[in-house]
């Protein structure tokens, strides 16, 4: 049988009074936390000062390209021209392709940074400032590797340039603003936080280490500014993850550390971005290898091969070394290593933390640009062959670095492909290494010009793409 003990009256009163007092204390604390605003400053907190400081530096970028339609073959016949005129059944002979995006003024003299994909293929570029002034722009530099481009506004001076901040100081949770021209509606500001850092599997460019934010980014925001609460540029808005095409709170920006490298190259008048060359091929660290090395997680990059006489070889790096950090900052994969190494200034050294034989060691590596040990000698293939429209280059460390290809393979590399050409239609890609044509080894760009001079019924070509060698046969 269960027994219950009734408290006496004095104990019951004391217990009840204690409960009431404790409830009164908590209620009093809550009341003190919810105070009526006593000053205007407490009810007018706003991001407006940051917007006023930065919005004049964000611009709209308009690109245009005139494409000529192929003439209808019937227009060669005077009979058809008599009835349909020279227009070709009412269809215009020229078609204008347009693009729209955003950009950021980074120098008062009129330097604007935007995304490469905003102006890619465009022959005319105009920029509209926040105060409605418009300027024609020349393209100083394109960098597909980072999806960045730098423009120069013609006749511009004393513009409102933004301060470029240090993206390496960002932390997850920091407040940020995204400014741009979404959907072409006009300059728009959205607010959010830094959701993640060092995102490498985004699929935009190959020097990846993106800032992720939940500040709304939509089509047209590309090239716009991601700014911190001090009004400094921390990134260039570039991409979104979306199934609908609109913002779902997952946007990506190129860190300002990489933006600074590209802008500095443009200031020197260089046609390509000057980056430090490492001279080694890296692979991701798998869980099995990490377990065998005694690491608690698969974070790092394994040295797969080292280029003779390159900076990595001169520093003493060896195959199977595991790179864990660059200047004390951890690198989880080859992409994050590439970003960290590429943002280091040329001329000095960087300190790599390397795991070798179970021990951690520090190896200094010189920061030098890739040499052009062999003149590139560009050749654009003409005539009638599947190679027509290709621009091919001699391979060198500098060319391999620019195109992000492996230097260990010899051959001639595809540097560019004319849109709509026979080469584009058969499937050639930029960065393909052409090793042989009809069984003849190709060692120089001029040799392709000679090999394709004569017309043939079929063409057998051996190429290397992404480390794999493939032989294909095309019709003549």
- Going by C-alpha positions, the residue among 431, 414, 426, 421 that lies closest to residue 389 is 421
Residue in 222, 301, 336, 445 annotated catalytic: 222
**Phi, then psi, of 313 in degrees rounded to 5:** -65, -45
Which of helix, strand or coil describes residue 337?
helix
Give catalytic status of residue 147 as yes or no: yes
Which of helix, strand or coil describes residue 16?
helix
Residue 423's H or E segment, with its range, is: helix 422-426
Give catalytic status of residue 301 as yes or no: no
- Going by C-alpha positions, the residue among 351, 173, 176, 149 that lies closest to residue 258 is 149
How far, in Å, are 169, 303, 340, 407, 465 from residue 278 at the CA level? 25, 11, 11, 12, 21
Give the span between the Cα atoms of 205 and 148, in whole angstroms. Answer: 9
Residue in 57, 99, 102, 117 annotated catalytic: 117
Give catalytic status of residue 406 as yes or no: no
The token pair that represents 101 in the structure block: 């995006």
153-178 CB burial, b ≥16 within 10 A, e <16: beebeebbbbebbebeebeeebebbb
Residue in 147, 214, 332, 333 annotated catalytic: 147
- Going by C-alpha positions, the residue among 300, 269, 276 that lies closest to residue 286 is 300
- Going by C-alpha positions, the residue among 300, 340, 291, 295 that lies closest to residue 320 is 300
Give ∠ CA 261-266-270 in degrees, rounded to 5.
Answer: 105
Give the span between the Cα atoms of 253 and 209, in whole angstroms. Answer: 9
**Phi, then psi, of 10 in degrees rounded to 5:** -65, -40
Instruction: Give residue for tokens 């089509």.
Output: 219
Residue 451's H or E segment, with its range, is: helix 445-451
Active site residues: 117, 147, 222
């Amino acid at each position: 049988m269960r027994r219950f003990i009734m408290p006496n009256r004095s104990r019951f009163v004391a217990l009840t009074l204690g409960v009431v007092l404790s409830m009164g204390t908590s209620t009093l604390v809550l009341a003190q936390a919810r105070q009526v605003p006593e000053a205007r400053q407490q009810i007018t907190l706003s991001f407006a000062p940051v917007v006023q400081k930065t919005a004049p530096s964000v611009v709209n970028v308009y690109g245009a390209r005139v494409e000529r339609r192929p003439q209808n073959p019937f227009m060669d016949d005077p009979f058809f021209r008599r009835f349909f005129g020279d227009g070709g059944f009412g269809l215009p002979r020229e078609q204008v392709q347009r693009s729209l995006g955003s950009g950021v003024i980074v120098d008062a003299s009129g330097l604007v940074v935007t995304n490469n994909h905003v102006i890619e293929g465009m022959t005319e570029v105009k920029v509209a400032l926040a105060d409605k002034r418009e300027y024609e722009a020349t393209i100083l530099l394109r960098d597909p590797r980072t999806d960045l481009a730098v423009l120069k506004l013609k006749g511009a001076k004393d513009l409102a340039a933004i301060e470029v901040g240090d993206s390496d100081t960002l932390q997850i949770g920091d407040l940020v603003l995204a400014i741009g021209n979404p959907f072409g509606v006009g300059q728009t500001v959205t607010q959010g936080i830094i959701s993640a850092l060092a995102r490498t599997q985004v699929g935009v460019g190959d020097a990846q280490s993106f800032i992720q934010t939940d500040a709304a980014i939509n089509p047209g925001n590309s090239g716009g500014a991601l700014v911190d609460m001090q009004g400094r540029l921390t990134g260039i808005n570039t991409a979104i993850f979306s199934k609908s095409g609109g913002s779902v709170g997952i946007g990506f920006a190129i860190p300002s550390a990489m933006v600074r490298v590209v802008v500095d190259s443009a200031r020197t008048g260089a046609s390509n971005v000057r980056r430090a060359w490492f001279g080694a091929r890296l692979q991701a660290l798998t869980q099995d290898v990490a377990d065998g090395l005694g690491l608690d997680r698969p974070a790092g990059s394994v040295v797969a091969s080292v280029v003779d006489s390159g900076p990595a070889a001169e520093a003493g790096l060896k195959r199977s070394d595991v790179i864990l950090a660059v200047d004390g900052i951890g690198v989880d994969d080859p992409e994050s290593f590439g970003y960290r190494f590429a943002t280091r200034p040329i001329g000095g050294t960087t300190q790599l933390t390397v795991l070798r034989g179970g021990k951690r060691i520090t190896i200094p590596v010189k920061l030098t640009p890739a040499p052009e040990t062999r003149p590139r000698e560009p050749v654009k293939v003409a005539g009638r062959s599947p190679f027509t429209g290709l621009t091919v280059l001699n391979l060198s460390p500098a060319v391999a670095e620019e195109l992000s290809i492996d230097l260990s393979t010899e051959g001639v590399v595809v540097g560019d492909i004319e849109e709509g050409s026979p080469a584009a239609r058969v499937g050639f890609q930029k960065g393909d290494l052409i090793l042989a044509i009809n069984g003849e080894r190709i060692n120089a760009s001029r040799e392709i010009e000679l090999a394709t001079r004569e017309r043939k019924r079929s063409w057998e070509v051996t190429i290397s793409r992404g480390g794999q060698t493939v032989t294909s046969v095309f019709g003549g």
